[in-house]
Amino acid sequence: MAQGEVYAMDIAGRYEHPDEFSDAFDRVCVGVQNHTDQQGIHSHWHERMEILLMRQGRLQLICGNDCFEVLPGGVAFINPNEIHMGQFLEPQNQTANVIFHLDLLQTAGMDEADRQLDDLLFGRLRIAHLVYQDDELVHLVDLVSLSVTPSSSLMQVKACLMEILAAAFAHYSAEDSTVYGSGSSLLPKLLTHLHSHYSEPLTLQELADYSGFSKT
């Protein structure tokens, strides 16, 4: 992800394949982007976690069922597999972006931290979409987004990511049984099915039958 590049998709609701990321490190994409009010983030989703820090300007962001405005100093969390899109509202806008796959932080053994990361990946645990007035989070996101230098290391980036998620888990996360429930692990499968069959007629009943849920 180059500086100033627009992070957007040209197909509504498109699944973004990991190969489409320009990674600074293995499975980690970081950087600072400049945007105008003529640019937006088209509707898309991906399996990676995305963290966005608004450094300048304003962004109207739709993430899942939530619509909110991100102002300077706001940190937006886009959970894995959440459809999201947005529009920049000021002539000059700047964001710090961190996009990474959660398995980067998991160890060979399944300890409590690994289970939390697994719950986040499959929707059993969600992080609040918007956080304000948390200087620690702002500092950490800024730090990792600016860490693409010849002297930087993946270990430093991973340490920052773990600090960010540790703070988010402690203060801004909750199990979402109402929306995701026990069938949350089916969400990636259902979204992949939609992506593969978007050109075909799809009914709500067919999708309900495929996912094992009722139409309601």
The DSSP-derived string for 108-176 is: SS--HHHHHHHHHHTTSEEE-SEE-S-HHHHHHHHHHHT--STT--HHHHHHHHHHHHHHHHHHSEEE-
The whole-number pLDDT of residue 215 equals 67
Residue type, 38: Q
Query: Which of the four pLDDT bands, split at 50, 70 and 90, describes residue 9?
Result: very low
Q: What was the pLDDT predicted at 194? A: 74
DSSP code of 91?
S
- Whole-number Å distance between alpha carbons of 186 and 211: 7
pLDDT per residue over 76-122, tens digit each? Answer: 999 998 989 999 999 999 999 999 999 999 887 788 899 999 999 88
Q: Return the pLDDT at 197.
A: 76
DSSP 180-193: TGGGGGGHHHHHHH
Contact 23, 42 (CB under 8 A): no
Q: At what angle do helices 154-171 and 135-145 cross, to 10 degrees?
A: 160
In one-letter notation, the amino acid at residue 149 is T
Residue 1 has pLDDT above 50, yes or no: no
- Confidence at 207, pLDDT banded by 50, 70, 90: confident
| pLDDT bracket for residue 6 (50, 70, 90) | very low
